[in-house]
Amino acid sequence: METDVYAKNCPSRQVLDRIGDAWSVLIVSSLKDGSLRYTELAQRINGVSPKMLTQTLRGLERDGIVTRTVHAVVPPRVDYALTTLGRSLLSLCNALQDWAEMHIGDVLDAREAYDSRV
Amino acid sequence: METDVYAKNCPSRQVLDRIGDAWSVLIVSSLKDGSLRYTELAQRINGVSPKMLTQTLRGLERDGIVTRTVHAVVPPRVDYALTTLGRSLLSLCNALQDWAEMHIGDVLDAREAYDSRV
DNA sequence: CAGCATCCTGTTGGATACTG
DNA sequence: CAGTATCCAACAGGATGCTG
């Protein structure tokens, strides 16, 4: 059936869920210029809680999008970086953000028109 | 501050929220070949409830991404179609799905490796 | 520093039933 | 046909406190 393409557990849907997660996009975008430490990520991504940061990073690591490197030093130091797969996802995230910045005006206008139209 | 780019209510974030919504992506993709009726959309998008379909369609309409055309006939007929803005979003959705199909294998492999690595 | 565990609340969204 | 309305379970995710 053609409709299966849109089924909940179809391949693209699983990827969509990850891309759809705002924190994931934000993390991947933050890592565009190279690796960052846990705290550096936390600082760059405004409003993320430690819980969500860790959770999202684990998901990205599991999906092969970021690497997690623990340095055996005191105090601990953990670096996160994009994998090759992650960098390919980055292009997509950039496309997302480019579209967003380019069309946010249109969207906002449309909303205003819709809302004032009752 | 540079970190404001990632703030919760920054412009790109609002658009991200819409794109991040799986139902939105699915609806926009479904409308790629032209307008569809409410029920046709429901059939194509496997597993969507009337509630979510209506809710998402309203959101897309408000954002200027789809048009909603009510025909004064009995039984009622309502057509949904992409606007120009919607079609531009469609390209992005296509890019999303292309990426998903291209890399789902890598992601699945990475997950398996991660899970069995415990 | 880089988390993990726990609690707790708000939101999401499915199921179900009804309507112009 | 194309929704709307209501209820409710599940999950997301913030706050807080603790640890190797």
pLDDT score recorded for residue B18: 83
pLDDT score recorded for residue A47: 86
Cβ atoms of residues A29 and A48 within 8 Å: no
Cβ contacts below 8 Å, chain A against chain B, sum to 158
pLDDT score recorded for residue A57: 97
Q: Which of A2, A16, A114 has its CB closest to that of B100?
A: A16
Cβ atoms of residues B64 and B24 within 8 Å: no
Residue B105's closest chain A neighbor by CA? Answer: A11
Tokens (6 digits) for B30: 């479904």
* C-alpha–C-alpha distance, residues A107 and A18, integer Å: 24
Q: Please name which of B101, B81, B102 lies closest in space to residue B33, comparing C-alpha atoms.
A: B81
Strand D contacted by B77 CB (< 7 A): yes
Q: Which residues of chain A have pLDDT under 50?
A: 1-4
Tokens 């599991």 identify what position? A62
User: Å between B59 CA and D18 C1'?
Assistant: 43
User: Å between A55 CA and D18 C1'?
Assistant: 18
* C-alpha–C-alpha distance, residues A83 and A111, integer Å: 38
pLDDT score recorded for residue A17: 81
pLDDT score recorded for residue B96: 86
Minimal Cα–Cα distance from A73 to chain B, Å?
Answer: 23
What is the DSSP secondary structure assignment for residue B72, as one 8-state letter? -
Instruction: Say what the pTM is.
Output: 0.89
With an 8 Å Cβ cutoff, is B22 touching chain A? yes
pLDDT score recorded for residue A56: 96
Q: Which residues of chain B have pLDDT under 50?
A: 1-5
pLDDT tens by residue, A57-76: 999 999 999 999 999 999 99
With an 8 Å Cβ cutoff, is B68 touching chain A? no
